[in-house]
Amino acid sequence: MDHDQPSVAVKLYLDTGNGFSEEESIYLPLKSGRVTKRMFYVPKRLKALRFDPMGSEGRFTLQHLRIAWLTPWFAQDRLAQRLSNMHFRWRDVTKNDVITALKHHARKDGCHWRDLALEHYEATFERRTVRHSYTQWLKTRRELGPYRMRRVIDKLPRQPLISILVPVYNPRIEWLRKCLDSVLDQVYPHWQLCIADDASTDPDVGKLLAEYAERDSRIRVAIRERNGHICAASNTALEMAEGEFTALLDHDDCLSEAALFHVVEALHRHPDAGVLYSDEDKIADDGNRIDPHFKPQWNPDLLLAQNYLSHLGVYRTSLMREVGGFREGFEGSQDHDLALRCTARLEAQQIVHVPHVLYHWRAGEGSTALASGEKDYTSEAGLRAVASYLEAHAPEARVRHGHFANTYRVQWPLPSPAPLVSLLVPTRDRVEILKPCVDAILERTDYPNLEVLILDNQSECADTLAYMEEVAKRDERVRVLRWNHPFNYSAINNFGARHARGEILGLVNNDIEPINADWLCEMVRQVSRAEIGCVGAKLYYPNDTLQHGGVILGIGGVAGHAHKYFSRHSPGYFTRLHLAHGLSAVTGACLLVRREVFEAVGGLNEEHLAVAFNDVDFCLKVREAGYRNLWTPYAELYHHESISRGADDDPTKRARANSEADYMRRTWGEALDQDPAYNPNLTLVHEDFSLR
């Protein structure tokens, strides 16, 4: 369906004899330029259907609508596949075992398995709206025109030659023509196009390449006698490269006309750059640009988890040759392998993000851009690439596939012997909150060496005091320390840190409950890495929506939680909710840090940040000291956010909150608006990664 709204959710209403109602309606979120499919179950004889194309006034054109009856076995197979791929509860269950497991759980719950299955299936369709249409956003963008770009180019003291590598094998001729035209249309003139035809069997390919080589002397074409696949063809193209830098372009994709201009402009500001990469989007079959990927600055853990550098990738040619070019055997993820090997030889400041959409993937049928899951061999090649990197740089670490295609989980080694972890739990009264928290930590944590320090802030409730006494006697891992002063989160935790015995300190709210038993093992594995400072966890509200997916600076003026209120099964922005990756800050509700790092930066700020933003301030101090902060989705906990302290809903609390926000703005200034783990094209108003 074409429409003029930022986003649309179709609803289909069923009348099975009692008229139309919300209880018998089907929700269907549409994706721009795509056919969207979903299943629904009709429990009785169907009397009538009502189709609602959108929830608000607007224009639409319905291009295709088909309703088909499915056989039960096919429907069950599709349902099981989606649950296995998308739903958090079934992600570790193979498709063939999902239905059996559903029936087992349904018997325990006293319901029909189909009802449970459909409930979980429904939950995999997110009900979120995109605030700004990418098409509309593009129309409002103010870009330099060709004349202005040429004037800037004329003033650049350095205008390096850039070689563009295009391996070619039997592409659609119209796509190849548009690809080559996008190079000829570059405003920046100092380029060389190196094309290696990998023995295409379509004679029209050779004719077209000969035509373009005749048109422009900057185009060189090599015809390979035998098909050697993309790595061999790319190396053939690399042999022809004469430029100081080399850009990678697939034979069916297109460059923005400003692509090389923005690359050279970035090189003017970063003359020592060895690798540059840009934002990217996709081209739908109808020619519209869709699905933009706005990326963070250099993020090494994210690159291990997925090839987020991707396109447009530009490399110093001497560096590419130094690492041996493209390695055969990594076809399908050869760019990921190249990026890992090249970035490993560079300093962080030599890896430069260009925050413009300079590359357009072709999202036609069969293309890599359309659906990474279409090419399973790419995931296997990517796994080998990450494993090869780890073998060279962290041989004790292991990698396995992530939850989504072309994503990976690195499991870092656990130190031996396991270091003592001191979990600091500030609390005051509210035994109904504290007891589930502490009991869950003690019962659901398989980490072998921890202590729990309950930091009692003037509790008066007899039941709370009795529980603290009882649990300290029952479990030798628990100690209770008294803090007899007015509430000051920073001071309480600094006090706890001074009395803690552990090499690793954990800030833990008293309303946290672990979900997976290895949550602390995962966090210790990460925080024990010498380059890592603070490590944060994935926190959910009790209704299984996200409370914390890391902290993004600048949202709401100071900082906000990434992906807040997303559903638990959601991939997040380009599957970010299922990837361990670097962030500027993480919440102190569940944060691990090595004692040496905590003490080196002076702990938490007691004087200016008694309640809010002390965790963000602390993380920024840790980052300033040269460490990387990290968020992991593999430590999952529930968080009943701030229910023990309450909300900032009276004048005194609001004044305090405003003063703490003012302190953060004064102290960190522009750093709060330039989060390197975020993208300047994304919103600072909402937590949903929508367009700014």
Query: What's 604's domain CATH number?
Result: 3.90.550.10
Distance CA 394, CA 620 (A): 27
Domain contains 688: no
Other C-beta atoms lying within 10 Å of the C-beta of residue 497: 20
CB-neighbour burial class of residue 321 (10 A; exposed 0-12, middle 13-18, buried 19+): middle
Is the confidence at residue 194, as pLDDT, over 60?
A: yes
Domain contains 37: yes
Q: What is the DSSP letter of 22?
A: G
The rounded Cα 458 to chain-centroid distance in angstroms is 41
Q: Which amino acid is at 89?
A: R
Give the gyration radius of the chain's Cα atoms.
Answer: 28
β partners of residue 11:
27, 52
State whether 429 and 386 are in the same domain.
Answer: no
Contact 462, 490 (CB under 8 A): no
* pLDDT tens string 337-360: 999 999 999 999 999 999 999 999
* pLDDT tens string 502-540: 999 999 999 999 999 999 999 999 999 999 999 999 999
Question: Distances in Å between the alpha carbon of 162 and those of 223, 337, 550?
Answer: 21, 21, 38
Q: How far is the first Cα of the chain from the last one, in angstroms, to the nearest whole number?
A: 25
Is the confidence at residue 128, as pLDDT, over 70?
A: no
State whether 118 and 148 are in the same domain.
Answer: no
State whether 242 and 279 are in the same domain.
Answer: yes
Domain contains 405: no
CA max distance for the chain? 89
pLDDT value for 641: 65
Domain contains 75: yes
Distance CA 11, CA 50 (A): 8
Distance CA 341, CA 173 (A): 33
Give the dihedral sign, CA 52/54/57/60: negative
Domain contains 378: yes
pLDDT value for 644: 42
Q: How many domains is the chain partitioned into structurally? A: 3
* pLDDT tens string 281-299: 999 888 889 899 999 999 9
State whether 654 and 507 are in the same domain.
Answer: yes
The rounded Cα 498 to chain-centroid distance in angstroms is 36
Q: Which amino acid is at 615?
A: D
Give me the domain span that covers residue 149: 144-397
State whether 109 and 164 are in the same domain.
Answer: no
Domain contains 606: yes
State whether 149 and 71 are in the same domain.
Answer: no
Contact 17, 9 (CB under 8 A): no
* pLDDT tens string 476-494: 999 999 999 999 999 999 9
* Stretch 200-221: mean pLDDT: 96
State whether 240 and 182 are in the same domain.
Answer: yes
State whether 479 and 390 are in the same domain.
Answer: no
* pLDDT tens string 388-422: 999 999 999 999 999 888 999 999 999 999 999 99
Examine the fold and report which residue of 397, 413, 436 is the final residue of a domain before the chain moves on. 397
pLDDT value for 89: 72
The rounded Cα 459 to chain-centroid distance in angstroms is 41
pLDDT value for 643: 43
Higher pLDDT: 551 or 2? It is 551
Domain contains 153: yes
State whether 363 and 305 are in the same domain.
Answer: yes
285, two tokens = 């079959």
* pLDDT category of residue 24 using cuts at 50, 70 and 90: confident
* Stretch 64-92: mean pLDDT: 84
State whether 85 and 223 are in the same domain.
Answer: no
State whether 447 and 388 are in the same domain.
Answer: no
618, two tokens = 């602390």
Domain contains 605: yes
State whether 7 and 149 are in the same domain.
Answer: no
66, two tokens = 């088909």
